[in-house]
Amino acid sequence: MFAMRDLEQYAAECMKELDRLNIRYSKSISFVINTRAVTRLGLCKKLGSSYVIEISELLLDERTDLKRGLKTTVIHELLHTCRGCMKHTGKWAELAAKVNAAYGYNVTRVTRSDESIIPEEMRKPPRYIIRCSKCGAEIFRQKRSPAVTNPEKYRCSGCGGQLIRIK
């Protein structure tokens, strides 16, 4: 087993960074660790007047890049809890740019779970790889799915680019 990071500790650190920029995120957030093997690293759901932020367990593994992985993902999701920020445009994008400029993050619409964040040794080699020809995002699949069989019929969820199968 490898050492695991404390999600609450890093969430508090990220919140302090937003406080310093006077960014008002929600005061009612619960953090949940998502233990299912997922390609999605983070998720923010609104439940009534509070929010649930799910963070992939992968990012708590100390072998992953702390800043580009866990902290970038936490900041991305925290910004969704600001007023009028559920989408990745408008105010959310403005706040992301502000945080990036202040602390050198690279908070973008899609956090790529590439090798600079999650080292190769942590990955099961995927049987199939589909890549976006526009932004380079990669989708790994162990099973044959419609997207594996006919990638040209699907679009990248991040940028809308054309998908191609490379493995």
Q: Which window, 19-27, 29-37, 100-108, 154-162, contacts Zn ion (CB under 5 A)?
A: 154-162
Q: What is the 3-state secondary structure (H, E, C) of the chain?
A: CCCECCHHHHHHHHHHHHHHCCCCCCCCEEEEEECCCCCCCEEEEEECCEEEEEEEHHHHECCCCHHHHHHHHHHHHHHHCCCCCCCCCHHHHHHHHHHHHHHCCCCCCCCCCCCCCCCHHHCCCCCEEEEECCCCCEEEECCCCHHHHCHHHCECCCCCCEEEECC
Binding residues for Zn ion, rule CB under 5 A, total 8
Least distance CB 79 / Zn ion (angstroms):
8
Regarding 126 and contact with Zn ion (CB under 5 A), the answer is no
Residue 132 makes contact with Zn ion by CB under 5 A:
yes
Among residues 29, 93, 129, 159, which is the contact residue for Zn ion, using CB under 5 A?
Answer: 159
Q: At its nearest, how many Å lie between Zn ion and the CB of residue 121?
A: 26
Minimum CB–partner distance for residue 91 and Zn ion (Å) = 13
Nearer to Zn ion, 62 or 150 (CB): 150
Query: Quick check: 53 binds Zn ion (CB under 5 A)?
Result: no
Which residue lies nearer to Zn ion by CB, 58 or 132?
132
**Residue 135 contacts Zn ion per CB under 5 A:** yes
What is the residue whose two structure tokens read 């949940």?
A: 32
Find the binder of Zn ion among 134, 141, 155, 165 (CB under 5 A). 134
- Burial (CB < 10 A; 0-12, 13-18, 19+), residue 147, is middle
7 vs 132 by CB, closer to Zn ion:
132
- Interface with Zn ion by CB under 5 A: which residues? 132, 134-135, 137, 156, 158-159, 161
